[in-house]
Structure 1
Amino acid sequence: MRWALRLGNLYGIAIRLHVTFLLLLAFLFLMATLAGGWRSGLRSLLLLVLVFVCVLLHELAHSYVSVRYGLRVRSITLLPIGGLALLEDLPREPRQEIHIALAGPAANFVLALWLGVLLSLVEPARAFLPVLSGEALLASLFWSNLSIGLFNLLPAYPLDGGRVLRAWLSGRMDYVEATRRAVGVGQFFALLFVLGGLLLRETWPVVIGLVVFWAALTEEKVAVLQSAMERIYLEEVMLTEFQSLAPGDSLFDAVERALHSLQDDFPVVSEGRVVGVLTRGGLLRAFSGQGWNQSVQAVMSSRFETAQRGDTLAAGFNKLTARGLSLLPVLENERLVGIVTLQNLLQSITFLSRKGAAEIESLRRE
């Protein structure tokens, strides 16, 4: 995600902080300071940071269950409106999606239970008084976790409750149609938030409603695109006219072929088998070192993935992006029959995003 700062890795998951979150911290600190002095500002700042630690735990709970089901989680990004876990694979079994969706609110309810017990022992007078203030950290954290858990259970897609609804619907109809119906319910709730905020003259319900509405539309487009990518196979988009190199070729040979074919990356083939990949970056690094006389074998990368021509576009894209590759040799019976590059896959995805799954399916039948 753009404008996100990487904080580090946790169990192989990149943790990022969106810059707008820092702006929110600065704004709330300023408002609290103007209202009650710098001590009040610091307490409000501490409360917000602790609340977003709880949001991070919410997203980690989603991620933990996802990993248990064999799904890879690429990153978690903290935003002013909450957290966003980015999965490389999407759960398609309704049971899996329900368990993953419910894990987040469950984490908040466990935190609320623990904080509630602690609060009843330390400050029993405040245990059941709703509050959100830096002056009452423990009580505020209790009510924040309870609110986050309950709010996320609303069947307003893409909230967790909406994902449970989508999973339930997908067991009874097509996945894309289930997503569309869940999106419709989510947009209904979003409009209720906006109207309620306008009637009550409160800003946050309006902001939340607009964000949920926009996020629902975005998720629908992603679901349609994902469905289309899983209906298209690499043999339909792979490049069949391409240049390859042999391990004994020189870098001068590689440059000549690059100039004549406008091809940036090359599969390296020996005795009919792919043994490596020479990328444009590797070629440039080699020139800055020992120059033209090196062999391809000396500078090629043996860190590469291959795909079968019957693999889906989604599977090929995941292989390229998961390891930061730019070329994917396509095989049939261990024989190289084509290549796909990140650039030509992105072009295919752009085309699919404009056409949609249904139109692509009709074009393939013609």
Structure 2
Amino acid sequence: METKRYTKETVSQAAKRIQAGELIAFPTETVYGLGADATNAEAVSHVYQAKGRPSDNPLIVHLSTKEQLNQFVAEVPERAIKLIETFWPGPLTMIFEIIPGSLPSVVTGGLKTAAFRMPDHELALALITEAGVPLVGPSANTSGKPSPTTADHVLHDLAGKVTGVLDGGATTVGLESTVLDLSVPEPVILRPGQIVAAEIEAVIGKLGQANALPTDQQPKAPGMKYQHYSPNARVLMMPVGERDWSEAILKLQTEGVRVAILASEEIISMNQLASVGSFALSEGDNIADASRLLFAGLRQLDESSNEIDTILVQTYPEEGLGLAYMNRLKKAADNQYI
């Protein structure tokens, strides 16, 4: 099929395709999502097919109003109401026990829970409102590859597989939302994101500690079980605080490895690297810029040259937003350091 590019002026046309059970990728503040009517099991099944995504990996339901949550959750707890008032619309996903039968099992992965969020993006909210239904919205990419942060990234992966993409320009956050499990007595973060634990605890008190997911257990949220964010080239991480990359580059080159680097402008210029290519994450050690550009950098380096064997990537301390950045980078690198 031909994949059409929709714009702000043609949101209503894109919404009609959603109503017809088709797939429309849409921008959020985090990454682009692959939208389908969350109440239409057949439409949602096509999302898994288009992405090549494992069917036991549950999907996040995207809402355009806070009131829509009441269609699926019998009683929204007080702590959730406080979080909604503080962080919605925004990059916080919350998991609740749902009303039995209120969502197809293909959305929940057969679980009694589901994840919900209200994106902070004008076009996403307009699309959901115009369609008149909540949307599932997993990242609009081939499963396992770096998440898309522009409409062009979506088209690179899914052109011909989906009806269209609503083009809202580059995303502003660049990493997927924080996922908070509120279906348990002591809330826990299952996936870190821009909204960090300290901000959540300031609203509802101390959070619990999430345990690693056993290999035979079904995940309650995206990004918990399967390999994610990996380009075709191998990704290696440079240890935190390492400033002289020259020795590492030279070692790889003597082994016949063609290296590109993903790091700050300062690191790129300081080391005068003889690499195949480079992509600047930020002017200085700016974790917000690095997070916003991580996926775009992995994609650009991977696609810019077939001469690249390995992408060497700057790491950050695992605190605050650095926790979310490193969560994605470790998955992209399969936990491999130089």
Say which structure, 1 or 2, has more relative contact order (CA 8 Å, 6+ apart): 2
TM value normalised by structure 2: 0.32
How does the TM-score come out when normalised to structure 1?
0.30
Larger Rg: 1
- Of Structure 1 and Structure 2, the greater helix share is in 1
